[in-house]
Amino acid sequence: MVRDPSREPESPSVDEVLDALADDAARRIVAALTEPKTASELSEECDIPLSTTYRKLEMLTDASLLSESTDIRRDGQHTTRYSVSFDAVTVSVGDGDEGDAGSREFDVEFSRPERTRDERLADLWSELREET
């Protein structure tokens, strides 16, 4: 199972992204994700209570800053791992509606890493399972 909001057709709102990045604990989690890690590993490494870690991971995933994947094990003890799903986030201010000469709008854009062969295969497998 893969949950990767960065691949959703609708982008998160600027508020969602900025709120996630404004949170100190969430930024510590992102900084600690040099490789995919579990919530327990992140909780311990970042010195954040596990329940708070789960809330921050949900917020970061909803803001398209993290992706999650599930390692399926034969013993049934599946493990969810989180990884950073962006190389850069750019917030810009542009002109708003053409009819409103004084309005300005914020926009957020992500620079994403190339998908690995394993990630592309996982996507394909997920799509196949949804169709059957």
Distances (CA, A) of 132 to 40, 43, 71, 118, 120: 34, 37, 21, 21, 19
Average pLDDT, the chain: 82
Query: Do the domain assignments include residue 3?
Result: no
Query: Do the domain assignments include residue 117?
Result: yes
Q: What is the chain written as a DSSP string? A: -EE-GGGSSSPPPHHHHHHHHH-HHHHHHHHH-SS-B-HHHHHHHHT--HHHHHHHHHHHHHTTSEEEEEE--TTS--EEEEEE--SEEEEEEEE--TT-TT-EEEEEEEE-PPPPHHHHHHHHHHHHHHH-
Query: Do the domain assignments include residue 5?
Result: no
Q: Give the number of domains in the chain.
A: 1
pLDDT on residue 123 = 63
pLDDT-wise least confident of 54-58, 67-71, 72-76, 82-86: 72-76
Query: Do the domain assignments include residue 2?
Result: no
**Domain encompassing residue 97:** 14-128
